[in-house]
Amino acid sequence: MADKTQASAVDAGLSATHGSQTPAAGGRTPSAAGSEPARRKAKPNYRQAIEAGIFIAPALALFAFFVVWPMIKAVQFSLYRWKGFGPLVDFVGLDNYIRVLQNDVFIGSLTHNLIIIVASIAIQLPLGLLIALLLNRKMWGRAALRTIVFVPYVLAEVIVGVIWFQMLQPNYGAIAVVLDAVGIQGPPQGFLGTVELALPTLMVVLTWKFLGFAIILFLAGLQGVPEELHEAAQIDGASWWQTQVKITIPLIGPTLRTWAFLSMVGSLQLFDMVWILTKGGPANATTTMVTFLINEGTKRSNYGIASAASVVLFIIALVFALVYQRFVLRRDNPDIEPQRKKVTR
């Protein structure tokens, strides 16, 4: 949840960036232009600036101290060989980066993150969309259903992880026992303990946890599709499926693209669930970039290596965000812009 909410903000931020940048190019933001009565322009607003400073100071200080400063430190640590004690003296340049990028475990973790990104979208997008379209129909118990769908998303990843960990245990776990009863021999090491099965099993749990998020988001998007369009399509003799495919899905395109973005950012930062379910094992079959850097940092005290890995993660996330923003989300901005102006005025 933490990751996802954080991620949802990323997107809000992306669109907000547009909101504030685009008007700035053309002059001023509409609200700024409007909120400046002529009489105030006469005297320079030092007082207002000082007041602004006082109001912003606590947030800015907190942000600078606990977000920006540690980021800068991460870059610094990444250039040293450092075990976490004593002064930072052993400057090694880019050596840590080279070591990280040549480390099979890290490359494996990067691969796992990419697999999880692709699999999340390939599984959750069609499934979530299908369910959202079904739940968007008038039906008995719809409100309750929507609440239920939200439950796994509300639970902490740790709690979900622990429940599934117990169910997936080889001998006494519920899934093994049920399979046994049906006559299927489960893997002797359990689903999480078998190298080939660990990652797919993790994907199943992730789907269970996060599908509700996709559904809720898609349903929110569906709220914006005008009913009249469906009626018009029906009058023209379109079937329910045709209406969905030709009208509804294209109209909620922006929501789908936003969700895909959030899902990608969340997948890149995946940690909690993996740590609870497998700790990255067996034989590093489920390491992610974050489990790698936590392992290096806390278990082995290789702070230099861990920091280099975190900087690599940051660069990947940034490139992802910028590329996605540039080529995919940008399409939606003409839609967002006029709406925003209406709101601010």
Where in 216-235 is the site for another protein (CB under 8 A)?
216-217, 219-221, 223-224, 226-228, 230-231, 234
Q: 91 in helix, strand or coil?
A: strand
By C-beta, is 51 or 196 nearer to another protein?
Answer: 51
The yes or no reply on residue 336 touching another protein (CB under 8 A) is yes
- Closest to another protein by CB, 115 vs 208, is 208
Closest to another protein by CB, 196 vs 224, is 224
Nearest to 290 by CA among 112, 155, 150, 148: 112
Per-residue interface string for the shown chain with another protein, residues 291-310, x marking contact by CB under 8 A? --xx--xx----x--xx--x
- CB distance 78 to 95 below 8 Å: no
Torsion of CA 41, 45, 48, 53, to 10 degrees: 130
**Residue 318 touching another protein (CB under 8 A):** yes
Provide the CB-side half-sphere exposure for 142 (13 A, CA): 12
CB of 48 to another protein, least distance (A): 5
The identity of residue 228, as a single letter, is E
| Whole-angstrom Cα Rg for the chain | 25
Options 19, 128, 186, 193; binder of another protein; rule CB under 8 A: 19
- Tell me the C-alpha distance between 204 and 281, whole Å: 16
User: Residue 284 or residue 310: which is nearer to another protein going by CB?
Assistant: 310
Of 34, 23, 75, 119, which is closest to residue 306 (Cα–Cα)? Answer: 75
Selected from 271, 281, 282, 328, the binder of another protein by CB under 8 A is 271
Nearer to another protein (CB atom), residue 62 or residue 196: 62
Site mask for another protein (CB under 8 A), range 29-48, x = bound? --xx-xxxx-------x--x
CA proximity to 245, closest of 235, 233, 257: 233
CA angle 119, 218, 205 (to 5 degrees): 35
CA quadruple 84, 90, 93, 97: dihedral sign: negative
Interaction residues for another protein, span 143-202 (CB under 8 A): 143, 145-152, 154-167, 169, 172, 174, 177-178
In the complex, what is the shortest distance from the CB of residue 199 to another protein, in angstroms, rounded to a whole number?
20
On whether the CB atoms of residues 314 and 289 are closer than 8 A, the answer is: no
Per-residue binding string, another protein, 243-262, x by CB under 8 A, is -----------xx--xx---
Q: Out of 81, 99, 142, 341, which residue is the one contacting another protein (CB under 8 A)?
A: 142
Instruction: Name which of 48 and 196 has its Cβ closer to another protein.
Output: 48
**CB-wise, 222 or 285, nearer to another protein?**
222
Among the listed residues 129, 214, 260, 268, the single contact to another protein using CB under 8 A:
268
Q: Minimum distance from CB of 172 to another protein (Å)?
A: 5
Q: Tell me the C-alpha to C-alpha distance, in Å, between residue 86 and each of 69, 82, 83, 89.
A: 20, 8, 8, 9
Strand-pair partners of 86? none
User: By the 8 A CB rule, do 81 and 304 touch?
Assistant: yes
**Single residue of 26, 27, 58, 338 touching another protein by CB under 8 A:** 58
